[in-house]
Amino acid sequence: MIIENIGTFSAPSLIIIILIFAIKSRINIFDSFIKGAKEGLECMISILPAIIALITAVTIFKSSGALEFTIKLLNPIFSLLKFPKECIPLIIMKPISGSGSNAILNSIFESNSPDSYIGKLSSIISGSSEAIFYIISTYCGSIKLKNTKNIIIFALISFLVSILFARIIC
């Protein structure tokens, strides 16, 4: 009950606090909003090519059969680690696409119960990792950072660690 009330009143309360602070500080709210919206739009336009390229690459990866080929290629390795083959598509797709991995997670839940071993393992993998390449292309693209090699390496290492800990926890 208390949590629901906090959620219901948090956004309006925050808006009221911001408005009171702006009025007290004599900030022109409308001009500040327009300036922020303009900066947000400029940022969105600057990262749009990276997002389009990533979405195109994910679509080609899935449509070409490369995902299925990669799953077959990695299945013996994951079998040695006692990972269920149902989790392999999620592990491959999660660093690339958040929405693609959510679709895979949903199909895992449809074929296996969310409370099953595979469902729990998939949930932990999905919840403890992020769409690495999407985030790097978006954030680094917005600040025009070109040298992302170390970021990608350490992000992938953290992803692998999250997968291993998911296996240990389950």
Residue 143 lies inside a defined structural domain of this protein: yes
CA trace torsion 86, 87, 88, 93 (10° rounding): 120
Domain-embedded: residue 7? no
pLDDT tens, N- to C-terminus, the chain (170 residues): 676 777 788 888 998 998 899 899 988 888 998 999 999 898 888 888 878 887 888 888 888 998 889 889 988 998 888 889 899 999 998 998 888 899 899 999 999 999 999 999 999 999 988 889 888 888 887 788 888 899 999 999 999 999 999 989 88
Tokens representing 47 are 């990262």
Q: Let me know if residue 1 belongs to a domain.
A: no
Residue 73 in any domain: the answer is yes
In a domain, 43, yes or no: no
Tell me if 24 is assigned to some domain.
no
- Whole-number pLDDT of residue 1: 62
Inside any domain, residue 102: yes
Whether residue 21 is contained in a domain is answered as no
Q: What is the residue range of 85's domain?
A: 48-169
- The reported pLDDT for the residue numbered 81 is 84
Q: How many domains does the chain have?
A: 1
